Structure 1
Amino acid sequence: MVQLTDRPGTKRITNLQDKFIYEIGAMYDAENRFLEAQQMMHQSCQHQELRSLIETHIQETEQQIRNLEQIFNALGQQPQRVTCDAAAGLISDGQKLMLLAADSPKIVDLGLVGGQYKVEQLEIACYRGLIKVAEQMGQNQVVQWLQQNLEQEEQTAQRLEQLMPRLLQEVTSSGGKTTAKSR
């Protein structure tokens, strides 16, 4: 169980705005972590279409970080990262898979797609929740920045969803082991 002493610099949450700022800080941390992970993924990726998708999303993630910084400013706050354990966990899982599959580039690419898809789903859920709170708070400009981030995440998730079957087919057709029977 997490103790407040495990999170230096975090203050008690006593109202909706405190909660919202805390969650924006967690998203800010997540986006920064995901940006670093995408840069590593780009280096490891062999599939050209996936590389292109990652390149595009790196640029989008940089814009999403700027949007989150604008939200902090609009709320009279300095941008501050709040550790997002979910983001750290997804990245750690992806790194493990990449290390274990390092000898199989097609499997690495398939793992990258799956890992990135999980990331997009987390981000989509977070941005939808943040939008609801920002609407409740009457923060219309904040809603617009969050909506822009959400739309980019949804588009990326859709592209990954379309790419996944093709990568899976490439692994299958190249003799990659896909079931226990093929051993």
Structure 2
Amino acid sequence: MAIKTLEQLFIHELGDIYDAEHQFLEAQQKMHKQASSKTIVTMLEKHIGETEQQIKNLEQVFKALGEKAERVKCQGAAGLVSEGTKMLKETAENPELADFAMLGAMAKVENYEIPAYEGLITGAEKMKQKEVVRLLKENLKQEQQTAQKVAATLPQILEKAMSSEKSSSASA
């Protein structure tokens, strides 16, 4: 279907991030089972709840626009999930290294979602959709906070990964 209006593009992009959030929720649930760091487990538990709320917010956005909530296959999200899954399989023998890979994957996801929400907010503002803007800004704020937490946690998890690497090479 050809996209000919801002509103059509907006609905398409909304369906895209709606699909992305579903894909990322499923990936987070898998990572939660594999994480060995209590910090990451706690972070994932919190963000899983936030992602579930973000999906509900997106459903409210569709409703506010008089549209049915429909997922548009998000290839970007699929690529990030595929890449993250592959990396977790390849690091599975070293839990600390897997935790670091997990945080790297989370950082990529957050940095994918943030500009997606920023673009949607700009579109909603142009369409003068105040409730839509509010809901999207709520999602954006959560994504930005998660990105900051991930960035702040990376050095600590990297240290653990490096320590485990040294101890495993010393015992070899």
CA offset digits 1:4-52 (Å, max 9, x no partner) = xxxxxxx321100000000000000000000000000000000001100
Equivalent in the alignment of 1:112: 102
Cα deviation, residue 176, structure 1 = 4.8
SS at structure 2 position matched to 1:81: coil
- TM superposition score normalised by structure 2: 0.95
Equivalent in the alignment of 1:129: 119
Equivalent in the alignment of 1:4: none
Question: Identity over aligned residues, as a percent?
Answer: 46
Equivalent in the alignment of 2:159: 169
Which of 14, 21, 24 does residue 11 from structure 2 map onto? 21
Question: Could you tell me which amino acid in structure 2 is paired with residue 70 of structure 1?
Answer: Q
CA offset digits 1:55-74 (Å, max 9, x no partner) = 00000000000000001111
1:172 and 1:40 map into 2 onto residues whose CA distance is 24
Cα deviation, residue 171, structure 1 = 1.2
Cα deviation, residue 175, structure 1 = 2.7
- TM superposition score normalised by structure 1: 0.89
Equivalent in the alignment of 1:59: 49
In the comparison of the two structures, how many residue pairs are matched?
167
Cα deviation, residue 139, structure 1 = 0.5
Unmatched segments (≥5 aa) in structure 1: 1-10, 178-183
Which of 61, 64, 75 does residue 85 from structure 1 map onto? 75
Matched, 1:95 2:85: yes
Unmatched segments (≥5 aa) in structure 2: 168-172
Cα deviation, residue 142, structure 1 = 0.2
> Which of the pair is proportionally richer in helix?
2
Question: Could you tell me which amino acid in structure 1 is paired with residue 9 of structure 2?
Answer: K
